[in-house]
Chain A
C-alpha cells in the first residue's frame, strides 16, 4: 500500500502531475486542507482539494481521504498530526510518501521533521518513509500582472469612447493592485502569529528514549519546571516508590544530562545559584505531545487541547 500524504495549499498540478508523469504507485491519498485564512482563500484551497480528490481517484485509481489541518501556522499541531498520520499508515503496513510542496512553511517543515523523527524511531521502517518536493513549471502571478496591465490599457482606450464610471473604478483598483505588486511582490504585510510575528521551527528530529528517560520527560511535562535536579529526583523517587539515595540521585542526574542540550536536547536547564532549574525544551514538549496517547476523558469546563 503506497500512501501519499498531501497538504493542499493553492496548487493543483504540482501535487498530482508529477505522480502521473513518473508513474508512481498511488493506492491511497490523504489530502489536508487548511482552515485558517481569509474565507476566499480557504474556499479556494477547499475547491482545489475537492478537484484533487476526484482526480486522484479517476486518474490514479487511489482511495482518498480529506482531513482538516486546523491552523497552518501552528507548527506543533501540524507536527503532531503528521507524526500520528505517518505512524498510523506504517502500522497498517503501508509505505508513506509525504509531499511538502504546498501549504505554508511551518507545515512543510513540521511534516518533513515528523517524517524524519518517525524514521529515527522506527529504524525497521526507514525505507518505507519518503519526503518529497515538486516544483511548478511556471508561476501564474507574473502572467496575471501582465494581463492586468493589458486590460488597463484597453480600459483606458474604452474610457475615451464610453462615459461609464465603472471603467474608472476598475482602472483605479487595478492601478492600486499593480502598484502594490510591483513594490511588494506577491504578498503584503507580516501576520501576527501568537505573541509575535515569528514562528520558531524546532527542526531537530527525535531520538529514541529509554523507559527511565521517558518517565523523566512525562514527569517534567506534567509538573512543569523543577527548581533543581535534586527536586526532580526526589519527585521521581516518590513516584516510583524508590528510596531516595545518592545512587538514585546520580541516576537521575546522568539521565537528565543525556536528555539535556549536550545530548538529546529534550531538556533545558538554567543556572540558578548552585542549582539548575530544569524543564522541557521546545523539542521535548513536542516529544511528549507526540507520544501522549490520544484518549481524553469527558470533563466539564476547561480549555480544549486541540
Chain B
C-alpha cells in the first residue's frame, strides 16, 4: 500500500519537466554517456552530443560521428 503523500500531485508536473530530455538535454547526455561507459561502448576520449530527439556520438571535439 502506498503511503499517504503530501504535495505529490502538485509536484509531479514539475518533476516531469525536470526530467524532460528536450528541456534538460545535458542531463540526458550525461545519463546516456555514463551508461555507455559502464557497458564499455564509449571510449574515454568520446563524448555524446544532444541532437533533437536523441543523443549522438561524437569524437570528443564536438563533431557528430
Contacts and interface: CB of A to CB of B under 8 A. Distances in A.
Contacts of B16: 221-224
Contacts of B30: 293
A268 B15 contact: no
Interface string B1-40: 1110111111111111111111111111011101101100
A211 B35 contact: yes
A221 B15 contact: yes
A128 interface: no
A196 B24 CA distance: 31
B20 to A, nearest CB: 6
B22 to A, nearest CB: 8
Size range of the interface on B?
20 to 34
A124 interface: no
A280 interface: yes
A257 interface: no
A211 B24 contact: no
A270 interface: yes
A198 interface: yes
B6 A270 contact: no
Given A195-B10, A211-B34, A218 B19 contact: yes
Contact of B23 (A268, A296, A303): A296
B14 A199 contact: no
A298 B14 CA distance: 16
Contacts of A222: 16, 19-21
A91 B23 CA distance: 25
Contacts of A282: 5, 8
Interface in A101-149: none
A288 interface: yes
Between A196, A223, A285, the greatest number of chain B beta carbons within 10 A of the residue's beta carbon is seen for A285
Interface string A72-95: 000010000000000000000000
Given A224-B12, A288-B15, A292-B19, A218 B5 contact: no
Interface in A270-300: 270-271, 280, 282, 285, 288-289, 291-293, 295-297, 299
A24 interface: no
The 10 A-B pairs of least Cβ separation, nearest first, read: A221-B19, A222-B19, A211-B34, A293-B26, A200-B6, A292-B18, A211-B35, A293-B27, A211-B38, A270-B2
23 contacts: A194-B7, A194-B10, A195-B10, A211-B31, A211-B34, A211-B35, A211-B37, A214-B31, A214-B34, A222-B16, A224-B16, A268-B2, A282-B5, A285-B8, A285-B15, A288-B15, A289-B15, A295-B25, A295-B26, A296-B24, A305-B14, A305-B17, A305-B18
Interface of B: 1-3, 5-28, 30-32, 34-35, 37-38
